[in-house]
A and B are shown apart, each in its own frame.
Chain A
Amino acid sequence: MSAREDILGKIARSRGASAGTAKPAPLRPALGAKEGAARLAQFCHLALSLGCTIVPVREMRAVPASLAHALGEQSLKGDVWLNDEPQLTALGWQEAGLSLHSERGKDDLDGVISVTGALAGLAETGAVIMQSSAVHPFAMGLLPDVHVAVLRTDQIVAGMEDIWPLARKAGGNRLPRALSLVGGPSRTGDIEATLVMGAHGPRSLQILLVGEEAEAALEPN
Chain B
Amino acid sequence: MHVTTEKFHGRAKKAIANKNLQGGLFIIGKIFTAMRDHAMAQMPEFEALRDQARDIKRHTLENLDTYLQQFEERVIENGGRVHWARDGEEANRIIAQLCKEVDAQTVIKSKSMVTEELELNPALEAEGLAVTETDLGEYIIQLRGEKPFHIVAPAWHLTAGEVADTFYEAHKAHGRTERVEDKVKLVEEARIVLRERFKKADVGITGANFLIAETGSIALVTNEGNADLCATLPRKHIAVTGIEKIIPTLDDLALFWRVLPRSATGQDTANYLSLYSGPRREGDADGPESFDIVLVDNGRSDMLGTAVEDMLRCIRCGACLNACPVFTSVGGQTYGSVYSGPMGSVLTPALTSVSQAAMLPNASTFCGKCEEVCPVRIPLPSMMRHWREEEFSKHYSPAAQRWGLGLWAYAARTPWAYRLATTWGRKVLALMGGKERVAHALPFIGKGWSEKRDLNVGEGATFLEQYERRKRRGGAKGERV
Q: Contact residues of A with B, CB < 8 Å? A: 2-4, 6-8, 10-12, 14-24, 26-27, 29-32, 46, 50, 83-84, 104, 106-107, 110, 125-127, 132-139, 142-143, 159-161, 164, 171, 174-194, 196, 198-202
If A134-B283, A189-B153 touch, whether A18 touches B305 (CB-CB below 8 Å) is yes
8 A-B contacts (beta carbon < 8 Å):
A21-B59, A32-B254, A142-B229, A161-B251, A178-B228, A190-B136, A191-B140, A194-B160
Assembled-state Cα–Cα distance A193/B30 (Å): 12
Query: Which B residues lie within 8 Å of A139 (CB)?
Result: 229, 232-233, 286
Whether A186 lies near B224 (C-beta < 8 A) is yes
Assembled-state Cα–Cα distance A43/B371 (Å): 34
Whether B273 lies near A7 (C-beta < 8 A) is no
Assembled-state Cα–Cα distance A134/B217 (Å): 20
Assembled-state Cα–Cα distance A152/B52 (Å): 34
- Scoring A186, A189, A199, A200 by chain B CB atoms within 10 A of each residue's CB, the highest score goes to A200
- Nearest B-chain residue to A179, judged by Cβ: B275
Leading 9 A-B pairs by shortest Cβ distance = A201-B225, A14-B304, A137-B285, A190-B137, A160-B254, A14-B305, A199-B224, A125-B269, A190-B136
CB neighbors of A among B154-205 (8 A):
154-156, 158-160, 163, 183-184, 186-188, 191, 194-195, 198-199
Whether A18 lies near B52 (C-beta < 8 A) is no
Whether B269 lies near A190 (C-beta < 8 A) is no
- Scoring B65, B254, B265 by chain A CB atoms within 10 A of each residue's CB, the highest score goes to B254
- Nearest B-chain residue to A2, judged by Cβ: B84
Interface string of B39-58 (1 = CB under 8 A from A): 00001110011011001101
Whether A191 lies near B183 (C-beta < 8 A) is yes
Q: Contact residues of B with A, CB < 8 Å? A: 23-24, 27, 31, 43-45, 48-49, 51-52, 55-56, 58-59, 61-65, 68-69, 78, 84-86, 90, 134-137, 140, 153-156, 158-160, 163, 183-184, 186-188, 191, 194-195, 198-199, 215, 217, 223-226, 228-229, 231-233, 243, 248, 250-255, 257-258, 265, 268-281, 283-287, 295, 297, 301-302, 304-305
- Nearest B-chain residue to A201, judged by Cβ: B225
Query: Which A residues lie within 8 Å of B199 (CB)?
Result: 106-107, 110
Whether A191 lies near B280 (C-beta < 8 A) is no
If A22-B59, A183-B270 touch, whether A199 touches B85 (CB-CB below 8 Å) is no
Whether B55 lies near A24 (C-beta < 8 A) is yes
Nearest Cβ distance between residue A102 and chain B, in whole angstroms? 12
Cβ-neighbour of A3 out of B27, B52, B84, B277 (below 8 A): B84
Nearest Cβ distance between residue A201 and chain B, in whole angstroms? 3
If A3-B90, A8-B69, A11-B68 touch, whether A187 touches B223 (CB-CB below 8 Å) is yes
If A132-B286, A159-B254 touch, whether A7 touches B223 (CB-CB below 8 Å) is no
Whether A180 lies near B187 (C-beta < 8 A) is no
Query: Which A residues lie within 8 Å of B58 (CB)?
Result: 21
Query: Which B residues lie within 8 Å of A201 (CB)?
Result: 224-225, 228-229, 272
Whether B274 lies near A30 (C-beta < 8 A) is no
Whether B277 lies near A175 (C-beta < 8 A) is yes
Assembled-state Cα–Cα distance A133/B283 (Å): 8
Whether B45 lies near A84 (C-beta < 8 A) is no
Query: Which B residues lie within 8 Å of A164 (CB)?
Result: 250-251
Assembled-state Cα–Cα distance A136/B31 (Å): 39
Query: Which A residues lie within 8 Å of B252 (CB)?
Result: 23
- Nearest A-chain residue to B56, judged by Cβ: A23
Query: Which B residues lie within 8 Å of A127 (CB)?
Result: 269, 273
